[in-house]
Amino acid sequence: MGAALWNVASGRKIADLPGYGVSGLDFSPDGTLLAVGSEDGGAILWDPATHREVLQLETGEKQRWTVEFSRDGSLLAVWGGGQQTVLWDVARRRRFGRLPGGCAAFSPDGKRLATCEGVRIRIWALSNGKEINPAPAPGSPIKCLAPSPDGTLLAVGQGDGALRLWEAPSGRQVRAQPAHKGPVASLAFSPDGSTIATSGWDGLVLIWDAATGKELSRHEGTGGGIQGLAFTAEGDSVIWGGRDGVIRVWEPSKGKGVLNLAGQRGEASSIALTPDRAVRFSTGGGSLHAGGLDARKVLHSWPSRFASLLAMGPDGSLLAAAGDYTQPVIHIWETASGEEVQSLPSPGPSALCLALSPDARTLAASGEKGELLLFDVATKGQRGLEGHEGVVRCLAFDPAGTWLASGSDDATGLLWKMGPPPEEAGGAPTVEELDALWDDLASADGGRAQASMRRLASHGEKAIAFMRTRFPQAQPEAT
């Protein structure tokens, strides 16, 4: 099966271009050429105006080939699963060079080309074909990540125990250092961004100076391993969960634990803190628990079979929970009332990771088959993000909500620029639907009223115009 040309304005098919197993498409910047990658050994250049073949680019290997033009259209990169990139001089219609690695991307100025080789990202100067500043391989799959409070840095924990710090969104690596003997399980920045806490499968909680990478303190032994990890809003304490079901609070400055919260059945596998210390959430043994750090006791519990994932918005008003293989659903709870305000379809049989945006309007979720989805919490609208070649294990929004970071088993971390929340699958709301939402605002069911409020807010100008019809306008007094 080949490619097809379509008129975007009319939706009419213009022509069919013969070929076999199309695996990549790219127009030249001036639109005079179309490159088509295929599975039968390379790529073909077509003239979109005449629908005629211009040149066959043979690579000599039968595999899926992807194509990309440089910004000025002078070069074409063709790469496949064989971990090589072939460059073609478009004007001279001849091979320009061959570089190791695939997943090629040109720099905006066309002077450099990035390729990936295994777990390495390599940058090449196209003027001489030499690698620029060769960097060591990033190591192993990314297990956890967290943005700094100001959004300028991204901390990454990996399966080989390494802790890496990157600039966001430039992607420049600031520092790489060994941290744990075994995979890094979780990490978190302090509220002021000066320190980083990491936990590992080796049973250690370590505190690092974010600027220098120096180890400041450590805590050993947590009842069979450490699961979740978070700083309190004041930054003076670190809280984590253990596989023994106990939540521990530790003050690094004093080098000692100050509080243990027991009462969980099973593992305390995930933790999310509200800003005011009023509650903390963790999962274990088939229920969600809310406990006060100051009250030193469990305050609330909700049935939630195997809810091993939690995500909370920065203001603490909403909590997302998932991880139940018997119910592929993501539940959204209002923390103050304990009411469930929304349920979303889980990506695949079970979600692997969750993250709520700072405004609590968007939920990011990954699945066990490599899915990565964005949901509008109010409307259930969704869209997929494609870029990773492995399962996504960790997600985090920056504090401003301008980008989403994702880490994967493919040993890559990606930054996604965030736009408005996904549109509702059913399109713009009808007048009848807006009337129903208006009626629900007065519902005695607090959860239903909250859901209606969020859904109305998600419709922006349409909701504002509707609300104006429901409120009489004040008339100026006669003078």
Which has the minimum average pLDDT: 45-54, 309-318, 361-370? 309-318
Of 39-48, 242-251, 348-357, 380-389, the least confident: 242-251
The residue that leads in pLDDT, 298 or 28, is: 28
Q: d(Cα 407, Cα 388) in Å, to the nearest integer?
A: 9
CA dist 73 to 29, 98, 106, 127, Å?
Answer: 6, 18, 11, 16
In DSSP terms, which residues pair with 158 in a beta bridge? Answer: 142
Count of beta carbons in the 10 Å neighbourhood of residue 18: 11
Tell me the mean pLDDT in the region 13-37.
Answer: 78
Say if residue 284 is exposed, middle or buried (CB neighbours under 10 Å; 0-12, 13-18, 19+).
buried
Contact 290, 279 (CB under 8 A): yes
C-alpha 300/C-alpha 263 separation (Å) is 11
Sign of CA dihedral 98, 104, 106, 111: negative
**Cβ partners under 8 Å of residue 71, min gap 6:** 29, 106, 108, 109, 110
* Residue whose pair of structure tokens reads 């805590």 in the numeric block: 219
pLDDT (tens digit, 9 = 90+) per residue, 224-243?
566 667 887 778 888 877 66
HEC string for 49-111: CCCEEEEEEECCCCCCEEEEECCCCCEEEEEECCCEEEEEECCCCEEEEEEECEEEEECCCCC
Tell me what the mean pLDDT of segment 140-157 comes to.
84
What confidence score (pLDDT) does residue 295 get? 45
Say what the pLDDT of residue 278 is. 41
Asked if residue 372 lies in contact with residue 388, where contact means CB atoms within 8 angstroms, the answer is yes
The pTM (predicted TM-score) of the whole model is 0.55
Higher pLDDT pick, 453 / 206: 206
pLDDT of residue 255: 65
Percent of the chain at pLDDT > 90 equals: 8
Q: How many CB atoms lie within 10 A of CB 434?
A: 21
